[in-house]
Amino acid sequence: MKKKRQPARKAGGRKPPKPLIGKLVIFGVGLIGGSFALALKRQRAVGHVVGVGRSRSNLLAAKRLGVIDEMATDPAVAVKNADLVLLAVPLGQTRAVLAHIAPHLASHTVVTDAGSTKRDVIESARRQLGATFSRFVPAHPIAGTEKSGAAAAFAELFEQRNLILTPEPETSARAMKLVRAAWKLAGMRILEMTASQHDRIFALVSHLPHLLSFTAVANIAGQANAPKLFQHTGGGFRDLTRIAGSSPEMWRDICLANRDAILSALDGYLSDLEAVRGMVEASDGAALEQKFAASRNARAKWLLKK
């Protein structure tokens, strides 16, 4: 009678440790979703990664690069028996993805997101997930580059960066624990705040700077002699406009989702800009220097605390 084969064991006779996440499903295998997968793979914290997306060529690239282990086109099939589902899609797609997957989630599946706004995402999740909403953990990793797609992903993206969690009263402790552990393994520092606080803060420190960057490029591009003007730009213009290389679709959705907070941020900025215009118009060098010095000092203090 043949003996049963024993499962492979590590040296010393111990079984390999069970990964934190057996099956991870990522909707949107771009910079954020792909980097999350790579970071967890590097930590051996995930067993199998399934990628779902609109672009077959991007998914093929993700599989070729080892970002994902499997491609899927049917959301219902993709999320079957998943331990964690990450939504890393443009905000405009979030509601539809949640609606597609809601009936097919297992009783243990945790869903999280990586969206740059939180109130609208939470509202969509509450409506679409129903009783499963308690296993939805709203999250925002504060990391990124101006590049996109699976080829832009890298495992180190999240190291020593902040992750903002905005749980609701119903959010389950088990779901929170899993999401916190996963992002911590990816290298992130975990912070918590309310969704409203998050959206007000990031309208000022992230959404407004992106709008200014896009507008600075558009202002030059709209000039009759734009090619000549671009020819004479230097490092300052490149630094100011680097983030204008970001996804237009993503930033369109952010502006619409966080409309009220962004309008408030824009009003404040326009007021400051009008004040500076007045100083220039009045040739008030002392006021300009004072304004610039205050800004430089504030920036220096911020950098010291980073």
* Residue 204 vs residues 134, 195, 266, 269: alpha-carbon distances, Å: 30, 15, 8, 9
pLDDT band at 173; cut points 50, 70, 90 = very high
- For residue 147, the model assigns a pLDDT of 85
pLDDT for 296: 96
The beta strand positions in 19-130, using DSSP E, are 21-27, 46-52, 70-72, 84-87, 110-113
Q: Which residues of 78-87 are buried (b: 16+ CB within 10 A; e: fewer)?
A: bbbebbbbbb
Tens of pLDDT, residue by residue over 126-138, are: 999 999 999 999 9
Nearest to 182 by CA among 139, 120, 234, 237: 139
In tens, the pLDDT along 100-125 reads 999 999 999 999 999 999 999 999 99
Q: Which residues are paired to 84 by β-bridges?
A: 24, 110
Kindly tell me if the per-residue pLDDT of 148 is higher than 90.
no
Q: How confident is the model at residue 2 (pLDDT cuts 50, 70, 90)?
A: very low
Distance CA 24, CA 68 (A): 9
Q: Would you state the pLDDT for residue 132?
A: 95
Give CA–CA dist 33/67, Å, rounded. 9
pLDDT over 70 at 1, yes or no: no
**For the CA atoms of the chain, what is the radius of gyration?**
23
Residue-level pLDDT at 78 = 97
Token pair, residue 18, equals 């069970």
Residue 12: predicted pLDDT: 57
Mean pLDDT throughout 37-55?
Answer: 97
pLDDT band at 17 (very low <50, low <70, confident <90, very high): confident
Q: Express each pLDDT in 192-212 by its tens digit.
A: 999 999 999 999 999 999 999
pTM of the model: 0.88
Could you give the domains of the chain?
21-193 (3.40.50.720), 198-305 (1.10.3660.10)
